[in-house]
Structure 1
Amino acid sequence: MTENKNPFSNLEAKFKTVDNKASKAPKEKKPIDYKKYTKSFIAIFLVFVLFIIALANIYVVKEGEFKVIRQFGEIKDIKQNPGIHMKIPFVQSVTTVPKYQMNYNISEAEINTKDKRRIIIDNYAVWRVVNPKEMISSAGTLVGAGSRMEEFIYSVVRSELGQLEYSEIINDENSSRGSLNDQITNHVNELLKKDNYGIEVIDVRIKRTDLPLENEQSVYNEMISERQSIAQKFLSTGDADKRRIEAETDREVREMLASANKEASVIAAEGDAEAAKIYNQSFSKDPEFYSLYRTLESYKKTIGSETMIIIPSDSPYANILSGYLE
């Protein structure tokens, strides 16, 4: 006889297991001891802060620049060789000053020339910093140094161009214009060096020279008149040269013709003499033949298609013409 199995026996066993687990008391967790890790946290934090401070106080010197290190506002050192350096935190500060050449556009200004003309000059300068400490001590900043340089350039340009006439300034063929820029550059550098500005001007160039609007028309008219006068002078000189060359050519032609005529006369005389000599020799050999030849030659010149000659019938000339030679 088989035993009857309970179909819910498995479920009852599971519920009993769950009840047994729930009846057991939970274990208490131990509290975290933060004091144990406090020193480690502080050490890591201090290392991190020191790393940030060190990283913030590292600076790099690049090609073409100065690094000015200040300590409480006073210039302590200047670095110009490329490399990595470090400054003292919270005490020193670093600023950059360019070492390469820079362009500076100078403001337009009106000046008076030697002949009392007012012109507008537009310049530019190429410059660089050679001593950052002197530049900062004298001008403070690059902007201040540029302003002082502009004042010196304006003063020197006004002085130099004030000694030249307007035509000398605008005439590109004037050789003094080429050295004028060098003179201005040298003079400006002398003034900057004298006052210890720590900057150097490489070159000063005049970009443009214009006239004030109220003077343009009068100057243009004067220039036109001057060019017309020069053109007329060239034309007069050309006409004079033309007449001189024609006179010399006519004289040379006359001399050549006279020489040629003289040589032709000499040659003709020599030919006539030679012909006469030959005629004389021929006549002396056979006078009758020569007389006949000369008579026949005269017929060519005196007798034509419609020539009428009236001569005695018994004349020798008529006999030869009639064919009687005896």
Structure 2
Amino acid sequence: MNRLVIAIAAVVLLLVLLLSSIFVVDERQRALVLQFGQIKDVKEEPGIGFKIPFIQQVVYYDDRILSLDTASLEVTPLDDRRLVVDAFARWRISDVERFRERTGADGDFAIIAGQQRLQTVLNSALREVLGSVTSNTVLSADRVALMNQIRDQAARETAELGIEVVDVRIKRADLPEQNLEETFNRMRAEREREAEDERARGQEAALRVQSLADRTATELRSEAQRDSDIIRGEADAARNRIFADAFGQDPEFFAFYRSLSAYEEALQGQNSTLVISPNSEFFEYFGGDQIEGSARAAAGVRPTNAPVRTESNVPAPVGQ
């Protein structure tokens, strides 16, 4: 009976020892085998591993890509416009042994310590990179290049920690609350100044166009006036030439025509009154003889008592 109990106890002890020496590594984990705080083995592949029971222990670390949301950080770009920046990072443990040595902790405590170290590095990289550009660059599409630069700088500084920085993104970059009103006023003033400049340039262009139009109109009027004066002068010259030819052909009819034109100009309207001597030369053609003579001159008829000149090819008698 005693032997049976001893045998059962031995079997149970062997099972306990066997189970205590076996550990399983999940595909999402990495494991370190420690003996009195010293690393004896690294299990990076998923599967079953063995250790010395009660002497060695296994510490597990997450092998997945982890996230870290940084606290709000105030940075000052080149133009001295302070910005409040929120960022997040994606990272993973690349070297388990180095990570444990640098953090000095195991398991979840090591993850927390690693995140604290990583946040310190990220804050430093954010201040350095964003402080080398203007705030407009941070708020523009160039932010992607800045984030890549921050990621590369943080990856170089955390490589000795056994950490691989996969990605860094800026979630928010805003002005502090106390600077918003001042910034809005400055932006409003800049827009008003630009509007004034645009209006001034428009007014200048309008004046330039108006002056050009006025000059063109003056030139056109001058040319038209010049042409009209030339045409009027030519017409007056032609009229005077016609009058001169008419006067040369029949002076009496020309005088009669001029008198009639003078009567037409002077005696207009129903109440025209002239105080003038009846014997004045102005009424020369109001007499019957003058009118009759002028009418005959207009018709081309000579008076009856006018001498008649005849021409003949028959020679006159000699001595007569």
Query: Unpaired runs of 5+ in structure 2?
Result: 105-109, 214-320
For residue 186 of structure 1, what is the amino acid of its counterpart? D
Shift of 1:150: 0.9
More off after superposition, 52-61 vs 210-219:
52-61
Identify the residue that residue 146 of structure 1 maps to in structure 2.
115
For residue 25 of structure 2, what is the amino acid of its counterpart? V
Identify the residue that residue 125 of structure 2 maps to in structure 1.
156
CA distance in 1, matches of 2:16, 2:193: 81
Alignment counterpart, residue 169 of structure 2, candidates 198, 205, 211: 205
CA distance in 1, matches of 2:192, 2:28: 55
Cα gap change, 1:232 to 1:85, in 2 (>3 Å): farther
Identify the residue that residue 20 of structure 2 maps to in structure 1.
56
Residue 126 of structure 1 pairs with residue 87 of structure 2: no
Residue 107 of structure 1 pairs with residue 71 of structure 2: yes
- Partner SS state of residue 88, structure 1: coil
Provide Cα deviations, 1:42-74, integer angstroms capped at 9, x if missing partner.
110221132133223321112132111111110
> Please, what TM-score do these two structures have when normalized by structure 1?
0.57
Shift of 1:94: 0.6
Alignment counterpart, residue 155 of structure 2, candidates 172, 189, 197: 189
CA distance in 2, matches of 1:132, 1:233: 63
Alignment counterpart, residue 31 of structure 2, candidates 67, 85, 88: 67
CA distance in 2, matches of 1:234, 1:143: 57
Query: Unpaired runs of 5+ in structure 1?
Result: 1-36, 251-326
CA distance in 2, matches of 1:146, 1:108: 15
CA distance in 1, matches of 2:173, 2:7: 71
Identify the residue that residue 169 of structure 1 maps to in structure 2.
138
CA contact 2:20–2:54 (8 Å) conserved in 1: no
More off after superposition, 215-224 vs 225-234:
225-234
Q: Percent identity?
A: 31
Cα gap change, 1:233 to 1:85, in 2 (>3 Å): farther
CA distance in 1, matches of 2:184, 2:30: 51
More off after superposition, 107-116 vs 182-191:
107-116
Identify the residue that residue 26 of structure 1 maps to in structure 2.
none
> Please, what TM-score do these two structures have when normalized by structure 2?
0.58
Cα gap change, 1:49 to 1:216, in 2 (>3 Å): same
Q: What is the RMSD computed on CA atoms of the aligned residues?
A: 2.7
